[in-house]
């Protein structure tokens, strides 16, 4: 490598741009090339430059893996083809009969993977309110191996105490996995709070431009790292070199994007909180949010996901139809503002009574606040709510 970069001493913004990204050794290209190759020529039997076949490893992917691992403060990082395949690779640490305790309002795709795929292979899951460490502790069984939480959750923005759960996991000999997609390592670094595994849908803030699907796992544990590398090789749910490159391009601006996302989200949340049509507003940055103090303590920002409840489903539909900048779409975390109707979109697979228990009303609207001018976003909402 031309100039070895010891990124560990640098701040987050510098690491976002430089970690894992020494100039290309053959040309000096400042940007890690898209190594669009399946195989690598060997000099002789067993003599190669560390790359043999791209399912196992690829230099563009390696750059991404070093970059995001550095941002999460983890010694090991692994890129996957999607957030779902990343979560699946983690769950393959388990054997039939093993038990997982998970947050009860996880991303719908995670619940679907657990219930409709992994239960068929003999894994057992309990879904609990992960904002209560005592409640999580009560759900533990002799065969509990993994505690899987999202914080804040989607779409209720329930905040879980990462350090408290890490303490419980440690005491009980189980592994805490945190899905850190919503806040990104810019605002929240679960490993610093004691989690051993962090997972991402890189499709969201890490990529940041709504143009790629990807997943990522960072870990402190050498045995888990060995398992994940083996899963990349044995199962093959890896990102293409181009997809790895797109996410690497995204992480360079993660810090500036997250600052703008949050600045805009605070303005939008304040506007909604004062608007009579919004019966309830769920945003951890609002002082009356039940997880506000905890969110403030364990993260350096509140992110840019906001849910709010209107008078009725008809009113929600009318508002969705009238928004001009916020686009009606699933997903989140891109530069453009999106809006969705959780009950019929992201959370449609959850039975109605379960949705009701979780508080996901038919009159709820969820925003992913982008980085446009905040005045335009507030004006768009004001006009739609009129």
Would you tell me which residues interact with ligand PLP (CB under 6 A)?
82-84, 107, 109-110, 150, 154, 179, 181-182, 201, 203-204, 213, 215
- Whether 179 is catalytic is yes
The residue whose Cβ lies closest to ligand PLP is 83
Contact indicator for 245, 32 with CB cutoff of 8 Å: yes
Closer of 13 and 129 to ligand PLP (Cβ): 129
Query: Nearest approach, Cβ of 154 to ligand PLP (angstroms)?
Result: 6
Query: Nearest approach, Cβ of 85 to ligand PLP (angstroms)?
Result: 7
How far from chain centre, in Å, is Cα 346? 15
Query: Nearest approach, Cβ of 333 to ligand PLP (angstroms)?
Result: 8
Query: Nearest approach, Cβ of 371 to ligand PLP (angstroms)?
Result: 18
What is the spatial distance between Cα 194 and Cα 167, in angstroms, rounded to a whole number? 7
Instruction: Convert 8-25 to b/e letters by CB count within 10 Å (16 or more is b).
Output: eeeebeebbebbbbbebe
Tokens of 209: 């431009």
What is the spatial distance between Cα 372 and Cα 30, in angstroms, rounded to a whole number? 29
- Catalytic pick among 88, 161, 179, 243: 179
Contact indicator for 368, 264 with CB cutoff of 8 Å: no
How far from chain centre, in Å, is Cα 298? 16
Query: Nearest approach, Cβ of 260 to ligand PLP (angstroms)?
Result: 20
Closer of 174 and 212 to ligand PLP (Cβ): 212
Query: Nearest approach, Cβ of 202 to ligand PLP (angstroms)?
Result: 7
Instruction: Convert 346-378 to b/e letters by CB count within 10 Å (16 or more is b).
Output: bbeebeeeebeebebbbbbbbbbbbbbebeebb
Closer of 88 and 161 to ligand PLP (Cβ): 88
- Catalytic pick among 13, 51, 55, 279: 55
Closer of 182 and 245 to ligand PLP (Cβ): 182
What is the spatial distance between Cα 87 and Cα 136, in angstroms, rounded to a whole number? 20
Closer of 148 and 326 to ligand PLP (Cβ): 148
Q: Which long-range contacts (CB under 8 A, 24 or more apart) does 182-185 make?
A: 182/150, 182/151, 182/152, 182/154, 182/303, 182/305, 182/332, 183/151, 183/152, 183/299, 183/301, 183/303, 184/254, 184/258, 184/303, 184/333, 185/12, 185/68, 185/71, 185/72, 185/73, 185/254
- Whether 120 is catalytic is no
- Catalytic pick among 204, 266, 355, 374: 204
Closer of 182 and 282 to ligand PLP (Cβ): 182
- Catalytic pick among 15, 35, 104, 107: 107
Which residues are designated catalytic?
55, 107, 179, 204
């Amino acid at each position: 490598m031309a100039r070895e970069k010891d990124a560990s001493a640098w701040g987050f913004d510098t690491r976002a741009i430089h970690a894992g990204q020494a100039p290309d050794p053959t040309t000096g290209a400042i940007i890690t090339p898209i190594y669009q190759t399946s195989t690598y020529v060997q000099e002789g039997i067993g003599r190669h430059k560390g790359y043999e076949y791209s399912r196992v490893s690829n230099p563009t992917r390696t750059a991404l893996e070093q970059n995001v691992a550095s941002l999460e403060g983890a010694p090991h990082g692994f890129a996957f083809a999607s957030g779902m395949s990343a979560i699946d690779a983690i769950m393959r640490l388990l054997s039939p009969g093993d038990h997982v305790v998970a947050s009860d309002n996880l991303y719908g795709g995670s619940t679907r993977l657990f219930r409709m795929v992994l239960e068929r292979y003999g894994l057992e899951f309990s879904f609990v309110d992960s904002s209560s460490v005592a409640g999580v502790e009560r759900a533990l069984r002799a065969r509990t191996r993994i505690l899987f939480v999202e914080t804040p959750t989607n779409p209720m923005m329930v905040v879980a105490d990462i350090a408290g759960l890490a303490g419980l996991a440690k005491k009980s000999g189980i592994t805490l996995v945190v899905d850190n997609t919503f806040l990104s390592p810019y605002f929240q670094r679960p490993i610093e709070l004691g989690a051993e595994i962090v997972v991402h849908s890189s499709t969201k803030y890490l990529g940041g431009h709504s143009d790629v699907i990807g997943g990522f796992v960072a870990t402190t544990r050498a045995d888990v790292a060995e398992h994940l590398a083996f899963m990349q090789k044995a199962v093959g749910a890896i990102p293409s070199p181009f997809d790895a490159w797109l996410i690497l391009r995204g992480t360079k601006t993660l810090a500036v994007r997250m600052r703008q996302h949050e600045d805009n989200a605070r303005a939008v949340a304040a506007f909604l909180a004062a608007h009579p049509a919004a019966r309830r507003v769920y945003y951890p940055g609002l002082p009356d949010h039940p997880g506000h103090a905890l969110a403030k303590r364990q993260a350096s920002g509140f992110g840019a996901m906001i849910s709010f409840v209107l008078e009725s489903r008809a009113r929600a539909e009318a508002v969705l139809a009238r928004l001009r900048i916020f686009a009606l779409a699933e997903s989140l975390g891109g530069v453009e503002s999106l809006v969705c109707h959780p009950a019929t979109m992201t959370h449609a697979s959850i039975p109605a009574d379960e949705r009701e228990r979780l508080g996901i009303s038919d009159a709820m609207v969820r925003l992913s606040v982008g980085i446009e001018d905040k005045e335009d976003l507030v004006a768009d909402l004001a006009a739609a709510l009129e």
